[in-house]
């Protein structure tokens, strides 16, 4: 590592790896609990919008449903269906190479006052993935095959996952990722 480059905080790396491991293990409560509130709400809103034809949503107020599903725990009758869908969606954003090769990048990329990026790379992939500028790698949502990026937010509660591929979740109808 270059002496002039600030390292990624280990706590930020740890939260991303714990989040990804929970998703791989099918542990929704842990995965969901490691995401920040805006990310959870945007994901709930995205599911509500994409599931409008589901017969179980008939008569549901979409704001109330999304807020209920975004909570750490929810007794809503649609929660099991929602959890399955979110688990599948999250797994699609995880590295596809073997878990034992997941290597966090050491170079820190600060995205905002409280936002950092944690990159997970495959050390066996060709090229120098640590040297790819974040702005370049995310234009058009494209990432090299041996690299995945996750946005983390620091708050009074510590680090949490706030987005994927340098996009931060913004709740709304529709939710967006900026």
- pLDDT per position as a tens digit, 140-160: 444 555 778 899 999 999 999
pLDDT at 42 over 70: yes
In contact, 40 and 163? CB cutoff 8 Å = no
User: With 90 as the cut, is the pLDDT of residue 70 above it?
Assistant: yes
SS3 28: helix
Percent of the chain with pLDDT over 90: 45
pLDDT at 4 over 60: no
Q: Which residue has the higher pLDDT, 138 or 10?
A: 10
> How big is the CA angle at 25 (ends 21 and 30), to the nearest 5 degrees?
65
Q: Is 162 within 8 Å of 151 (Cβ atoms)?
A: yes
| Percent of all residues in the chain with a pLDDT value above 70, rounded to a whole number | 85
H or E element at residue 110: strand 109-112
Distance of alpha carbon 113 from alpha carbon 132, whole angstroms:
22
Predicted structure pTM score: 0.84
Q: Look at 29 and 127; give whichever has higher pLDDT.
A: 29
pLDDT band, very low/low/confident/very high, at 33 (cuts 50, 70, 90): very high
């Amino acid at each position: 590592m270059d002496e002039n480059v600030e390292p990624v905080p280990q706590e930020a790396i740890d939260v991303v790896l714990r989040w990804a491991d929970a998703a791989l293990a099918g542990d929704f409560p842990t995965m969901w609990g490691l995401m920040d509130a805006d990310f959870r709400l945007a994901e709930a809103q995205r599911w509500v919008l994409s599931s409008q034809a589901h017969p179980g949503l008939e008569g549901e107020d979409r704001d109330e449903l999304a807020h209920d599903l975004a909570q750490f725990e929810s007794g809503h009758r649609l929660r099991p269906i929602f959890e399955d869908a979110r688990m599948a969606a999250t797994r699609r954003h995880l590295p596809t190479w073997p878990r034992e090769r997941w290597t966090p990048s050491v170079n820190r990329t600060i995205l905002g006052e409280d936002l950092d990026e944690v990159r997970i790379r495959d050390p066996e992939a060709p090229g120098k993935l640590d040297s790819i500028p974040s702005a370049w790698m995310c234009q058009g949502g494209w990432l090299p095959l041996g690299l995945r990026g996750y946005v983390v937010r620091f708050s009074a509660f510590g680090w949490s996952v706030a987005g994927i591929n340098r996009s931060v979740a913004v709740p709304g109808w529709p939710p967006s990722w900026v």
